[in-house]
Amino acid sequence: MNSNYEKYPNIFVKPQEIDIMYSDKCTLYQLNFNGLKDIHDFLVSNPEVNTEVFRELVRNKESNYFFGSSYEDALDSLVKETKVKEEIIDSINELASKVDERLINELDSENKTVDINVSLNYPANGSERSMLNRAIILASVIKALEDKGYKVKLTGVSLSKSLSYTEMLDINVKLKDYDEKLDLVTLFKATDTKSFLRRILFSVTETTDVKGYSWGDTYGINGSTSDLYSVIPQNNPSLYFDNAEKLKIYGDILENDFDECIETLYERIELDKMTEMFSKNCVYKEIDDSLLRGKR
């Protein structure tokens, strides 16, 4: 085990064995960050890098369409002050008023708290417009819930696993707590920027103690919703904004993507309720997203 576990005890969780689909034994590596600045401060503190697995560091790779901006620019952007365009804010406010009441009612609970997890993975074939639309729709759902008196916690999740399914990496980033106001700049930096995954989170991955050599080439394959349920307890009513395409967000007309996404989220909740009727131990399963996250 590398020295990062001792040097950063508030970030690194001791590896543990878990059960996931298609694997008899899987080692979970988990890191928790208290926001984007926490990631920035971690990376600039020169944590130990797993050079045995990651022999060509992502920070040294040239800027191109896949990686986006340089590592230095991506790192600076985590703490740089920026603004969200007014037309995007207008779209969020407009869509928030159109969120289906059925979805909001399904998330009702005694304490009126909702946990939303959003995938920070940026699929190799994902379009920039679909990622932007997903971020706008996510912000509109949060606003709609809070306008109805709900308290929402938003966590960014980068869930990946080795090609052999024997190792899983779970990087969690707090984007908003229950009593905090949603910071749109933080949301868009984390969910609508390819360099955040492919420069920043890949650099975080390089500091972990993963063993499989395939990590050095692919940085893992995307985890699925069933994987998420295996590693993150769902104590409150929850939503998972995963791959845009799985939410039927295709980057076309925003209003169409919004309608399809809201209906998909509602149908997932209904499916969860149906499976729970048959078995309390049954979880919603879906086909794994096997897109290579770091393969060029």
Q: Mind listing the pLDDT tens digit for each residue in 24-37?
A: 789 999 999 999 99
The overall pTM is greater than 0.75: yes
The answer to whether 222 touches 169, Cβ cutoff 8 Å, is no
Q: In the chain, what are the helix, strand and coil shares in percent, each to the nearest 5?
A: 40, 20, 40
Position 158, amino acid: S
Domain membership of residue 200 (yes or no) is yes
CB within 8 Å of 54: residues ≥ 6 apart: 205, 206, 215, 216
pLDDT class of 93 with cuts at 50, 70, 90: very high
Q: Which domain, by its residues, includes 125?
A: 4-278
Least confident of 22-26, 251-255, 270-274, 276-280: 276-280
What contacts 150, CB < 8 A, 6 or more positions away?
104, 107, 112, 113, 114
Q: Is residue 100 part of a domain?
A: yes
- Bridge partners, residue 117, by sequence: 155, 240
Say yes or no to pLDDT of 294 above 80: no
Number of domains in the chain: 1
Do residues 159 and 119 lie in contact, with contact meaning Cβ atoms separated by under 8 Å?
Answer: yes
138 membership: H or E segment, kind and range: helix 128-147
Please report whether residue 293 resides in a domain. no
Distance CA 194, CA 68 (A): 6
| Residue 1 confidence class, pLDDT cut points 50, 70, 90 | low
294 assigned to some structural domain: no
Provide the pLDDT for residue 277.
55
pLDDT-based confidence at residue 170 (cuts at 50, 70, 90): very high
pLDDT digits (tens, 9 = 90+) for 110-125: 889 999 999 998 877 7
User: What is the rounded CA–CA span in Å between residue 244 and residue 246?
Assistant: 5
User: Is residue 67 a contact partner of residue 199, using CB atoms and an 8 Å limit?
Assistant: yes
Residue 287 lies in a domain: no
Give domain status of residue 289, yes or no: no
